């Protein structure tokens, strides 16, 4: 189990509460933003103070309640939204990119994200999020009626814009200087193909959804023949483990200290998943066949359809890696 930076923050999360804003280290604030109507409950965005103005990591939902909560929290810690110098986005999921444009409009901040997650680039290479979901569900080998129902569920919840314009698209290790603070952007695929982590000069790594304090990483959607997000994730975890970072700041749960050990443990967990899938799969089996034999938090038939969709797409990614690595 990871070592929390703040026992109070970890206790709030474990009690299914939204933690209050808290200082991680001098000059870095964790700002939980409630996600009303979402099972995630909240996302933690981070504010790094610099001589050139605050730098924001991630940006909640594009919803008035998120924007209002964020503004109130920034004011409560003595900072100003209209002085934010940059918005560093870990990836393009709606709970991370939502109010980035609002920040840019308020302050003129540069918006930064990994190039493969740039929406215009993603649309050219992979299609929209829903097109990728549809392709993945069809690749799982699930019956047509199951595919149709799971896709309809995805359409019902995927009501977010995919038109955010970037000021900087990162496609390799990139260094940003903000006065007295240097932040390195490192491509870190696995959860998405353009996922990026950010490392600041105090030894903090902002891990987005790649490496939570507890639990697994949801692998990226497999929608193309060459996709292998598990391989991407293993490479990313090895790289994070070698950074020598003192503290990991994930977008959910809580900041924690044992970064290298957590990277190793998470890699071991997912390697075990791959081995489990390899052992369960018989010649000609699809992800649909394998997923129903795997052990989840509840028996397969007791999982909600949305949870089954996530499990099925995750099993597809594991099966893809097991086949490629055999």
- Domain annotation for the chain: domains and CATH numbers: 7-127+163-274 (3.60.15.10)
- 137-171 pLDDT, tens digit per residue, is 999 999 999 999 999 988 887 667 899 999 999 99
CA distances from 14 to 21, 34, 192, 259 (A): 16, 15, 26, 20
Mean pLDDT for the chain overall: 95
Mean pLDDT of 62-67: 92
- 167-205 pLDDT, tens digit per residue, is 999 999 999 999 999 999 999 999 999 999 999 988 999
Pairing of strands 55-57, 204-208: unpaired
CB atoms within 10 A of CB 38: 14
Mean pLDDT of 53-60: 96
CB atoms within 10 A of CB 238: 12
pLDDT at 40 over 80: no
pLDDT at residue 161 in the model: 86
CA distances from 15 to 12, 30, 214, 215 (A): 5, 18, 14, 16
CA distances from 82 to 44, 107, 323 (A): 20, 4, 50
The DSSP symbol for 308 reads H
pLDDT at residue 319 in the model: 96
pTM (two decimals): 0.96
Pairing of strands 55-57, 42-48: antiparallel
Looking at per-residue confidence, does 284 or 262 come out higher?
A: 262
pLDDT at residue 201 in the model: 87
Token digits of residue 186: 């490192």
Instruction: Give, for 68, the enclosing helix (H) or strand (E).
Output: helix 64-76
Mean pLDDT of 98-123: 97
CB atoms within 10 A of CB 22: 18
pLDDT at 312 over 80: yes
Those residues whose C-beta lies under 8 Å from the C-beta of residue 174, and which sit 6 or more positions away, are 168, 184, 185
Give dist(CA 212, CA 21) in Å, integer.
18
């Amino acid at each position: 189990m990871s070592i929390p930076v703040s026992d109070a923050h970890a206790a709030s999360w474990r009690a299914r509460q939204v933690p209050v804003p808290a200082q991680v280290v001098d000059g870095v604030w964790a700002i939980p933003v409630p996600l009303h109507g979402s099972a995630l409950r909240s996302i933690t965005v981070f504010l790094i103070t610099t001589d050139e103005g605050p730098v924001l990591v991630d940006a909640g939902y594009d919803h008035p309640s998120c924007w209002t909560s964020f503004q109130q929290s920034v004011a409560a810690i003595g900072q100003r939204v209209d002085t934010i110098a940059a918005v560093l986005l870990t990836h393009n999921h709606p709970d991370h990119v939502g109010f980035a444009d609002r920040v840019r409009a308020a302050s003129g901040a540069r918006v930064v994200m990994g190039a493969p997650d740039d929406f215009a680039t993603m649309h050219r290479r992979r299609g929209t999020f829903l097109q990728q979901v549809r392709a993945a569900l069809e690749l799982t080998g699930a019956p047509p009626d199951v595919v149709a129902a799971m896709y309809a569920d995805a359409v019902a919840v995927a009501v977010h814009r995919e038109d955010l314009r970037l000021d900087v698209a990162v496609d390799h290790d990139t260094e940003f200087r903000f006065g007295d603070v240097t932040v390195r952007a490192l491509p870190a695929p696995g959860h998405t193909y353009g996922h990026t982590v950010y490392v600041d000069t105090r030894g903090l790594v902002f891990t987005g959804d790649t490496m939570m304090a507890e639990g697994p990483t949801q692998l990226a959607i497999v929608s193309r023949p060459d996709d292998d997000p598990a391989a991407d994730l293993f490479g990313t975890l090895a790289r994070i483990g070698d950074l020598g970072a003192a503290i990991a700041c994930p977008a959910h749960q809580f900041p924690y200290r044992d970064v290298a050990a957590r990277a190793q443990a998470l890699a071991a967990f997912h390697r075990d998943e791959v081995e489990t899938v390899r052992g369960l799969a018989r010649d000609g089996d699809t992800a649909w066949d394998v997923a129903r034999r795997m052990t989840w938090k509840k028996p397969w038939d007791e999982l909600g359809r949305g949870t089954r969709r996530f499990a099925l797409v995750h099993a597809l990614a594991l099966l893809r890696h097991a086949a490629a690595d055999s």
